Amino acid sequence: MEDLSGFKITVVGLGLIGGSMAKALKKLNPDKLWAFDKDASVLNNAKANNTIDDGFKDNDEVLAASDIVLIALYPKDTAEFIISKMNCFKQNAIITDACGLKQYIFEQVEKNIRKDINFIGGHPMAGKEVSGFKNADENMFVNSSYFLISSNNCTAESLSLLETIVYLIGCKNVIKVSADEHDQIIAYTSHLPHIIAVSLINCCNMDFQLNKISGGSFRDATRVANINSKLWGKLLIENRRNSLTMLDKFIDNLNTMKEYISNQDLVSLNSELDKAASKRKEF
Amino acid sequence: MEDLSGFKITVVGLGLIGGSMAKALKKLNPDKLWAFDKDASVLNNAKANNTIDDGFKDNDEVLAASDIVLIALYPKDTAEFIISKMNCFKQNAIITDACGLKQYIFEQVEKNIRKDINFIGGHPMAGKEVSGFKNADENMFVNSSYFLISSNNCTAESLSLLETIVYLIGCKNVIKVSADEHDQIIAYTSHLPHIIAVSLINCCNMDFQLNKISGGSFRDATRVANINSKLWGKLLIENRRNSLTMLDKFIDNLNTMKEYISNQDLVSLNSELDKAASKRKEF
């Protein structure tokens, strides 16, 4: 498969991720690319610049005609959309999402799901510190990783098709895991770095402008502190079992570093530094 | 002053920082740019590509002819060099260093200093995760910040001259502070982010390759985990009073975040996130 001809696709939510997804998918020539958004001006823009064929606030007939529905809303809205539209989806359609948490979505969706559709969780490991369709980028997913979480309710063919599409939009790695594994991984590789960035910038007040007294290490470590609190507060609390476990592991390791520094134990400290350097070099 | 004509300069240590400094200074046409390094092949390369006029393992006559001596060695070697060469320096010469710690250098140097030379501490807030003259870059300091720490032993004219040179090599901000203030600031804006990067990458082992399951937040937060342990172990221990204080502040803040997440206190959590976002936007 080299393009999306033969497929009608609907993207729900034309924010940064949904908008980037729509732009990336449109390049692959689907028969139709439709979008839903609550903001009519976003839909008009997307139609005007040929990102989508048509846009709607809501349209059950469009859903019933869509082979693939990609929902790029906040977690609660994603679950509500899937459940409320359950009777509208086309038979054998692939329904996928882009939420950063998977257990929550699966708990909500799996108990209410129709047996003749294919529900597959998705999570693109890509983003920017800006939001909205205006910042959407057709190359957002190039060389990134993408989690796919199959459900008890999807065929091997549908999973394979979605995997192919994910590679077609430019992703380099597809990681297939369970919802539980996904949420543990994300607590470490995404939620913890975001907590760290916030704490690092909040933990101390200096008499100087931070950008004047900082080099690249502080700048990089706090890049994501410019955070969307509306999204992230809920994510961290929803995934609290995993995010608290990872925070504890991290604080334990910091306390070990403290001990080495405090005891002037250069041998143990250097061994931690060397271990980190060697792990980071594998990147 | 628009260039360095009229000045003879010696750079001691042609590593990443000394080499970049030599390249940046050479563009400003000093009467002479000399360098010391223990590695003859580095000196030969630097001479061959016209970074320096001549290079030496050691040469007291060259020091006696230098108006400015910039020492880019590790802290202990920097202090030892200045003290051992105290009787060689030219009268009224500016002696400056590039160490990431200033109290240590000042304690060592100030008690042994000749009254007719100008000792000024320096710390360029620039670097890379690679080392050596082969990675030196004449634009390393462009748009960066540079700390200058005056001593009881420098004239206002010499400080002003060095400040001018720092701007000439491209720095955007010169921060003039005491050695004590410098080491506190650096503990926060540099030492803490390095400890964090190391702890973040060391605190957890996953069954997947880290680069496949990470997005930009993890990549950025761990960039400096590819650390030079030979340099950093000593820096963190030497500055332990400040680095431990900052680590405690950071861990306190993490524990506050833990409490908010654990109590599902979305209001307090979002307020921390919003505070961080607003501080980061000032960058």
| Complex ipTM | 0.86
Model pLDDT for residues B83-130, shown as the tens digit of each residue: 999 999 999 999 999 999 999 999 999 988 999 999 999 999 987 778
What pLDDT is recorded for position A67?
98
Among candidate residues B177, B193, B215, the one where a domain is terminated: B177
Among candidate residues A150, A177, A204, the one where a domain is terminated: A177
What pLDDT is recorded for position A231?
87
Rounded CA gap, B260 and A234, in Å?
A: 11
pLDDT category of residue B274 using cuts at 50, 70 and 90: very high
A281/B227 CB distance under 8 A? no
CATH number at residue A50: 3.40.50.720
pLDDT category of residue A49 using cuts at 50, 70 and 90: very high
| B55 lies in some domain | yes
Count the neighbouring beta carbons within 10 Å of the beta carbon of residue A166: 22
- Are A218 and A274 within one domain? yes
| A35 lies in some domain | yes
Selecting from B189, B201, B264 the residue whose C-beta is nearest the C-beta of A214 gives B189
| A3 lies in some domain | no
Rounded CA gap, B38 and B55, in Å?
A: 10
Across A259-265, average pLDDT: 98
A-chain residues within 8 Å CB-CB of B274? Answer: 229
A214/B254 CB distance under 8 A? no
Rounded CA gap, A129 and A16, in Å?
A: 10
What pLDDT is recorded for position A1?
85
Grouping H, G, I as helix, E, B as strand and the rest as coil, residue B17 is: helix
What pLDDT is recorded for position B14?
98
CATH number at residue B276: 1.10.3660.10
Rounded CA gap, B279 and A230, in Å?
A: 17
Rounded CA gap, B80 and A263, in Å?
A: 25
- Are B81 and B200 within one domain? no
- Are A216 and A138 within one domain? no
Query: Best residue in A184, A243, A261 to probe B by mutation, most B CBs within 10 Å?
Result: A261
What pLDDT is recorded for position A277?
96
| A189 lies in some domain | yes
Name the residue with higher pLDDT: B1 or A22.
Answer: A22
CB-neighbour burial class of residue B28 (10 A; exposed 0-12, middle 13-18, buried 19+): middle
A-chain residues within 8 Å CB-CB of B269? Answer: 233, 236-237
- Are A171 and A186 within one domain? no
- Are B70 and B54 within one domain? yes
Selecting from A233, A237, A280 the residue whose C-beta is nearest the C-beta of B222 gives A280
| A223 lies in some domain | yes
B145/A215 CB distance under 8 A? yes
pLDDT category of residue A93 using cuts at 50, 70 and 90: very high
- Are A200 and A132 within one domain? no
- Are B26 and B130 within one domain? yes
CA distance A108 to chain B (A): 20
Phi and psi of A273, rounded to 5°? -65, -45
What pLDDT is recorded for position B177?
96
What pLDDT is recorded for position B128?
78
Specify the DSSP element, H or E, that contains B194.
helix B192-202
- Residue A221 and residue B196 in contact, taking contact as beta carbons nearer than 8 Å: yes
Q: Which residues of A65-92 are buried (b: 16+ CB within 10 A; e: fewer)?
A: ebbbbbbbbbbeebbebbeebeeebbee
- Are A268 and A249 within one domain? yes
Selecting from A208, A221, A249 the residue whose C-beta is nearest the C-beta of B220 gives A221
CA distance A241 to chain B (A): 8
Q: Give Cβ neighbours of residue B29 (< 8 Å, ≥ 6 apart).
A: B3, B4, B5
B214/A173 CB distance under 8 A? no
Rounded CA gap, A160 and B34, in Å?
A: 64
A220/B223 CB distance under 8 A? yes
Q: B122: which 2 tokens?
A: 């320096």
Model pLDDT for residues B216-273, shown as the tens digit of each residue: 899 999 999 999 898 899 999 999 999 999 999 999 999 999 999 999 999 999 999 9
- Are B96 and B196 within one domain? no
Among candidate residues B143, B177, B211, the one where a domain is terminated: B177
In B, minimum Cα distance to A280 occurs at B226
| A163 lies in some domain | yes
- Are A30 and A147 within one domain? yes
Output the CA–CA distances (angstroms, integers) from residue A68 to A6, A270, B219, B246, in the order listed: 11, 52, 32, 51
Count of CB pairs separated by less than 8 Å, A with B: 283
How many domains does chain A divide into?
A: 2
Question: How many residues are recorded in chain B?
Answer: 283
Count the neighbouring beta carbons within 10 Å of the beta carbon of residue B180: 14
* Bridge partners for A175 per DSSP: A147
Domain containing A148 equals: 8-177
| B141 lies in some domain | yes
| B1 lies in some domain | no
Grouping H, G, I as helix, E, B as strand and the rest as coil, residue B264 is: coil
The amino acid at B30: P
The three-state DSSP-derived secondary structure of B32-64 is: EEEEECCCHHHHHHHHHCCCCCEEECCCHHHHH
State the pairing for strand pair B8-12/B32-36: parallel
Rounded CA gap, B282 and B279, in Å?
A: 6
- Residue B266 and residue A234 in contact, taking contact as beta carbons nearer than 8 Å: yes
- Are B59 and B163 within one domain? yes
- Are A133 and A199 within one domain? no
Rounded CA gap, B79 and B15, in Å?
A: 17
A-chain residues within 8 Å CB-CB of B208? Answer: 175, 185
B199/A257 CB distance under 8 A? yes
CA distance B228 to chain A (A): 8
A-chain residues within 8 Å CB-CB of B182? Answer: none
